[in-house]
Amino acid sequence: MVASVDKDEEAVVTCMDETRHNYESGDFVTFTEIKGMTQLNGCEPKEIKVLGPYTFSIGDTSGMSDYVRGGIVTQVKVPKIMKFKSMKESIEQPELMLTDFAKFDRPGQLHIAFQALHEYFKQNGSLPKPRNKSDADKFVAIAKKINDSSAAKVELDSDLMQQVAYSACGDICPMAAVIGGITAQEVMKACSGKFTPVNQWLYFDALECLPEKPDEKLTEETCKPRNCRYDSQIAIFGEQFQQQLGSLKYFLVGAGAIGCEMLKNWAMMGLACSEGGEITVTDMDTIEKSNLNRQFLFRPWDVQKTKSSTAAAAVKRMNPNIKITHHEDRVGPETENVYNDNFFEGLSGVANALDNVDARMYMDRRCVYYRKSLLESGTLGTKANVQVVIPHLTESYSSSQDPPEKSIPICTLKNFPNAIEHTLQWARDQFEGLFSQPAENAIQYATDPKFMERTLKMPGTQPLEILDLLKKTLVDEKPASFQDCVKWARNLWQENYNNQIRQLLFNFPQDQTTSSGALFWSGPKRCPHPLTFDTANTTHLDYIVSGANLRAEMFGMPHNRDRNAIAKMATAVEVPKFEPRSGVTIATTDAEATARQNEGSLDDTDLESVQSALPSPEKLKSFGIRPVEFEKDDDTNFHMDFIVAASNLRAENYDIPAADRHKSKLIAGKIIPAIATTTSLVVGLVCLELIKLTQGHKNMEAYKNGFVNLALPFFAFSEPIAAPKNKYYDTEFSLWDRFEIQGDMTLEQFLKYFEEHYNLEITMLSQGVCMLYSFFMAPAKRKERLSMPMSEVVRKVSKKKIPPHVKALVLEICCNDKDGEDVEVPYVKYNLARP
């Protein structure tokens, strides 16, 4: 949203400081809704120069009218004409795209190497045999000859050429996935004209996947064909690697897009396909129709089946030798009895295929605790990232975090929306508040004896609000027929799109000014207007039809899809007359809204009146009410019909452009853009890192964290960041280190142990959220705890038994050194003395 536009030869546009504009110099923009400098409204796209996070210049506006207020700036994608050389020209004068700055000279050399491979095949009728010195020498000679005569001559590395020759016969699934993903996206670009194509040659290699001293570890004998499905992989890494890969035990968390692609790659590579190997995959979700465009192990007939079981069965068909176990568990504290010490200690490593940060961070903590490698990845549309976490070498996933997503202020949602995202979020909140929460409250009231007690303890006016809604659901607005559901929906329409807007304009008229003299309805505040109901308006009727049917569903009544009959019912409803009232307060900031909710005075008389009007829970035991759970993918269930209608009606109130069903589903359903090309690429990159881990690479430079954007296209690879080191006295430690103590000691013995062995005085000791010991603790309490065994102290303070599956406690300690100074130290793994 525009805050100001200069009238100048190099005019500066300033945006509202609510959000950064996120533009780049060279982008094109146009404008709408500007008051005063109207020549900018709907103008031809203007190229901008970014001056700051909230400012950019647009060129000459000196001949335009003066800017008054308002306006929305929108980025416009302008077609770009790209020209490419012919194949013959580009071989001689290549445009080379760099994918890894650590391999700056590699693309030019690979350009020569691939020409040499074609020439070698032409001369010999085959590619160089794996690890065959004679064939490799011939290939190097051909490469040197081509390079000497090439217009794109480079300084050729004979060792690099030799490795190309040694691996030329090989073919590995991860590399096919990477190149296939990139190529498929280029095909999409050619078909659609969307995004920027590769210009013009892109070479990608992962030679660092080879053993750290390949010529010592790999021979022609170890890499020769075995007449098995893995021969092309053995040709590169040898038979011993294949045996290692087959005996791995991996935990895959998630069986969605990345999880499916991961399992496919693992099955093709032969991971966990030998004795001792096993894959455990867990995913609590079921398959939805919208998954089918990229989660390719699933078919239309699999919809509503569990993801993990379906994916496991699919890869079993691909490779019958794969050993795979599927679970439907959520990873978290509640399943630590399943994924316990025995489980993690037996793993070779963990791969995440998750879609949320909380679960990623939880798995990261578990991998750090059990000192297991973690392969982390994610996608967002054409963007992808890969991170490899290696015990004792790298930082963990949680060592760095993205900033949290910005939430929409409550007041913006309730009274001052200015974008379709705001009206869609409002519609989603309405859905939950109308069709899910009331039913959940009613069920809790009927079945949970402590529901009323908990509700009455809530702050401010919340008890009255919840109980009043409960009374409306169970008494005042309980429908007896579908006609009652239509009446309810029609009155709700009037309240949301007419009455509330008229009250808002009564409180803040269109010409209202602030204390500083500025118009109240300016900047991000769009002045609304009330709507008048009309059954001939499709959106109006959509709201009534969907709202009435969802209301009926919540109360266990059958649906009614006769729009004409519902239109007649809606017309027959007598809508109560409404007049705006004085004395109604409307919060204009979130702080005001929160304060009123928490500090409002509760009228005991009103509360008692509502309570007495509620039927007793015993009378509701057989009451057929159920919450409606939002499901975006079923086009027959009225859910998206209600969301689209509710949102677009509110958008019409505030003159916000409406959104079609597809866009509404993307935003309201919080669908993360995901495409098969990016998924293929990112999993290929993950599996290349897995190859390095399997071989036990110790050189951190061999590993690659990566960020890719196929749309630009952009590739950036870097070695992982080393785990930061801390120090106490002369002892260095990182997040992978800890004190490990064998129990069972008393608390006093535990404190003395640190004094005697590490010269550290423990000043505070905690386990989870429980403070077990502190230097400022009351003397009587300290004396009591000092003589108790550590496990007993934990039980006493936490008021919980230690679960049988827990073999060790994680203790956090604060310490002073011998000089009495605070010193940072690792955590303590306290092994319990189990019988």
Active-site residues, by number, are 411
Q: Are strands 828-831 and 739-742 parallel, antiparallel or unpaired?
A: parallel
Distance CA 178, CA 597 (A): 53
Distance CA 707, CA 196 (A): 17
Give the C-alpha distances (Å, rounded to integers) separating 805 from 96, 326, 558, 828, 834.
56, 21, 48, 19, 10
Give the C-alpha distances (Å, rounded to integers) separating 756 from 747, 751, 760, 812.
14, 9, 8, 19
> CA Rg, the chain, in Å?
33
Q: Please say whether the beta carbons of 694 and 240 come within 8 A.
A: no
Type of residue at 826 = P
Give the C-alpha distances (Å, rounded to integers) separating 488 from 226, 311, 483, 627, 643.
74, 45, 9, 17, 17
569 CB-near residues (< 8 Å, 6+ apart)? 482, 483, 486, 487
Distance CA 269, CA 286 (A): 27
Q: How far is CA 98 from the centre of its chain?
A: 28
Residue 222: exposed, middle, or buried by beta-carbon count in 10 A (0-12, 13-18, 19+)? middle
Q: Please say whether the beta carbons of 617 and 445 come within 8 A.
A: yes
Task: Please choose, from the candidates 336, 505, 481, 348, the residue with its C-alpha nearest in 3D space to the C-alpha of residue 415.
Answer: 505
Query: Which residue is associated with the tokens 């001939």?
Result: 536
Q: How far is CA 42 from the centre of its chain?
A: 36
The tokens of 476 are what? 């005042």
The tokens of 429 are what? 């909140």
